[in-house]
């Protein structure tokens, strides 16, 4: 009689690994304690993504298993048992020395300049980290300079978030010098810092030679139109930057004129966000002229800029010609009746715009009627935001009639308008026959 051996499926590492992929963290921890073999199957997934906090795994266990960690988020409470800030930096740098860590979140860790310096030294030899989040860490120019030196050597980091710190011109200039050399960083977030004209200009100048950066966020700094002066020349040569955010910097219409010149020659920028930039009529005119020839920009956001009636009219004329813009955000821009009517006329012939945001523009029933007529012929718009306006029953009824023939609009936002029962009823009745609208906000 031949004896045959039988192996239980759970004795096979392959089977345990398949099971592990469907379990939660608590179950992983329980299974990892069964035996040494089970530990080897369940521990890797347990430590794949770790949140280090007061209530999470201990510093000791993280240190012991750091070779398994790919994504690590450290909360400030995790340092409660450490005796000094230097011990905190040692923990971070020790983990960063791991050969597998790819993502490190250190938001609100209060590491300051000294912590940034220590982290920078570790980055010089690290070859796996691709994302580093240092938001809200009181990092100033000293820390930014140190990180810049690391960026000149490091060839792995792709995303660096430094928003809500205290970086000024000196730090921005240092980062700009690093960008001239670095060839891997694609996303740099510097919003809510203290960068003025010199720092912003240096960063813009770096774009002339940098060939890796795709996203640059300079929102809520302290520069004006002089900070963007180098952009036209830089963007003539740059062919990688796709997203530029300059919100809440007082660049004014003069700055918009500079940006418009850049758009006339650049063929890579697809998203330009200009909220709260004090751009008026002249800036809108300049941007409109650029859009007549630009064939790359798909999203333009001008919210909270006083472009007025005339600014909206010139943008409307461009929409009749431009064939690439898909999203136009004009919330709180004082476009007035003339501007809104002009936009409605443009929608009758435009064949590329898919999203139009017009909230907070005092649009009443007459303008809603004009927009309704446009919707009867327009075949590309999918999202129309008319919230926080003055549309009543007559406007709502007109929009409901348009929806009976329109077959492309999927989202209509009419929140915070004085629409009464008659208008609401007309719109809801339309939903019985309209087969494309999926979202209606009243």
Q: Are 215 and 243 in contact (CB under 8 A)?
A: yes
Q: What is the pLDDT of residues 279-334, one digit of tens each?
A: 999 999 999 999 999 999 999 999 999 999 999 999 999 999 999 999 999 999 99
Q: DSSP of 38-82, one letter per residue?
A: HHHHHHHHHTTEEEESTTSS-HHHHHHTGGG-SEEEE-GGGGTT-
Give a yes or no: residue 33 inside a domain. yes
Q: Can you tell me the distance from the alpha carbon of 120 to that of 144, in angstroms, rounded to the nearest whole number?
A: 9
Specify if 207 maps to a domain. Answer: no
Residue 203: exposure state from Cβ atoms within 10 A (0-12, 13-18, ≥19) = buried
| Token representation of residue 286 | 């300049």
- Check residue 64 and give its pLDDT: 74
Q: Which residue has the tokens 């994302």?
A: 131
The percent of residues in the chain predicted with pLDDT above 90, rounded, is 73
- pLDDT value of position 401: 94
31 domain residue, yes or no: yes
State whether residue 321 is helix, strand or coil. coil
How far, rounded to the nearest angstrom, does the alpha carbon of residue 435 sit from its chain's CA centroid? 32
Res 390: pLDDT: 96
What are 79's two structure tokens?
């340092």
Closest CA to 147 of 172, 185, 175: 175
**26, part of any domain:** yes
Report the number of distinct structural domains present in the chain: 1
Domain that holds residue 32: 15-46
Give one DSSP letter per residue of 257-291, joined into a string.
HHHHHHHHH-SS--EEE-TTS---HHHHHHHHHHH
Does residue 20 fall inside a structural domain? yes
Asked whether residue 24 is domain-assigned, the answer is yes
3-state DSSP call for residue 371?
helix
Distance CA 226, CA 333 (A): 24
Q: Angle, to 10 degrees, between the axis of helix 141-151 and the axis of helix 169-179?
A: 0
Q: How many CB atoms lie within 10 A of CB 293?
A: 11
The residue among 231 and 46 whose pLDDT is bigger is 231
**What is the rounded CA–CA span in Å between residue 42 and residue 52?**
19
The per-residue pLDDT for range 62-112, each reduced to its tens digit, is 777 777 778 888 888 777 766 667 777 777 777 777 678 888 999 998 889
pLDDT value for 274? 96
Q: Which residues contact 26 (CB under 8 A, 6 or more apart)?
A: none
Strand extents, DSSP E, 302-382: 327-329, 355-357
Q: Is residue 21 part of a domain?
A: yes
Share of the chain above pLDDT 70, in %: 87
pLDDT in tens, 165-218: 999 999 999 999 999 999 999 999 999 999 999 999 999 999 999 999 999 999
CA distance 368 to 372: 6
Q: DSSP letters of 140-193?
A: -HHHHHHHHHHHTT--S--EEE--SS---HHHHHHHHHHHTT-SS--EEE--SS
Find out whether 317 and 338 touch, Cβ atoms under 8 Å: no
pLDDT-derived band at 36, boundaries 50, 70, 90 = very low
* Contact predicate 72/52, CB 8 Å: yes
Per-chain mean pLDDT for the chain: 88
Q: Which residue has the higher pLDDT, 39 or 82?
A: 82
Give the distance from CA 183 to its chain's centroid. Answer: 21
SS3 content of the chain, % helix, strand, coil (to 5): 45, 10, 45
Least confident range from 52-56, 157-161, 323-327: namely 52-56
Q: Is 331 within the bounds of a domain?
A: no
Q: What are the DSSP calls for 72-92, one per residue?
A: EEE-GGGGTT-SSHHHHHHHH
pLDDT in tens, 399-428: 999 999 999 999 999 999 999 999 999 999
Checking if the pLDDT of 7 tops 60, the result is: no
Residues 366-407 pLDDT 10s: 999 999 999 999 999 999 999 999 999 999 999 999 999 999
Are 386 and 380 within 8 A, CB to CB? no
How many angstroms separate the CA atoms of 266 and 299, rounded? Answer: 15
CA distance 178 to 175: 5
């Amino acid at each position: 009689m031949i004896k045959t051996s039988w192996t239980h499926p759970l004795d096979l590492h392959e089977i345990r690994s398949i099971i592990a992929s469907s379990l939660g963290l608590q179950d992983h921890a329980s299974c990892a304690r069964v035996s040494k073999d089970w530990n080897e199957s369940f521990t890797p997934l347990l430590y794949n993504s770790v949140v280090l906090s007061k209530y999470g795994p201990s510093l000791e266990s993280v240190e012991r298993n750091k070779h398994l960690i790919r994504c690590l988020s450290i909360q400030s409470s995790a340092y409660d048992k450490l005796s000094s800030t230097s011990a905190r930096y040692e923990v971070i740098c020790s983990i960063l020395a791991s050969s597998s860590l790819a993502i490190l979140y250190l938001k609100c860790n209060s590491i300051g300049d000294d912590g940034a310096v220590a982290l920078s030294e570790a980055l010089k030899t690290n070859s796996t980290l691709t994302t580093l989040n240092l938001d809200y860490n009181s990092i100033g120019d000293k820390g930014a300079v140190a990180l810049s030196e690391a960026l000149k050597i490091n060839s792995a980091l792709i995303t660096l978030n430094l928003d809500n710190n205290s970086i000024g011109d000196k730090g921005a200039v240092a980062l700009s010098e690093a960008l001239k050399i670095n060839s891997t960083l694609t996303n740099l977030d510097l919003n809510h810092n203290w960068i003025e004209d010199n720092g912003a200009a240096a960063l813009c100048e770096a774009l002339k030679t940098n060939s890796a950066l795709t996203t640059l966020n300079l929102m809520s700094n302290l520069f004006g139109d002089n900070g963007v002066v180098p952009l036209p020349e830089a963007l003539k040569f740059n062919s990688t930057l796709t997203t530029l955010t300059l919100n809440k910097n007082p660049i004014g219409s003069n700055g918009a004129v500079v940006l418009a010149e850049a758009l006339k020659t650049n063929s890579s920028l697809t998203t330009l966000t200009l909220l709260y930039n004090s751009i008026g009529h002249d800036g809108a005119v300049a941007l409109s002229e650029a859009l007549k020839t630009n064939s790359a920009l798909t999203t333009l956001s001008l919210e909270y800029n006083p472009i007025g009636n005339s600014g909206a009219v010139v943008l409307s004329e461009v929409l009749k010609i431009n064939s690439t813009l898909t999203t136009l955000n004009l919330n709180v821009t004082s476009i007035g009746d003339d501007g809104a009517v002009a936009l409605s006329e443009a929608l009758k012939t435009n064949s590329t715009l898919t999203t139009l945001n017009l909230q907070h523009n005092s649009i009443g029933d007459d303008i809603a009627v004009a927009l309704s007529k446009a919707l009867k012929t327009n075949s590309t718009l999918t999202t129309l935001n008319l919230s926080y306006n003055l549309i009543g029953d007559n406007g709502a009824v007109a929009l409901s009639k348009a929806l009976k023939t329109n077959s492309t609009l999927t989202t209509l936002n009419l929140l915070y308008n004085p629409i009464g029962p008659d208008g609401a009823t007309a719109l809801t009745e339309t939903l019985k026959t309209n087969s494309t609208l999926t979202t209606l906000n009243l």
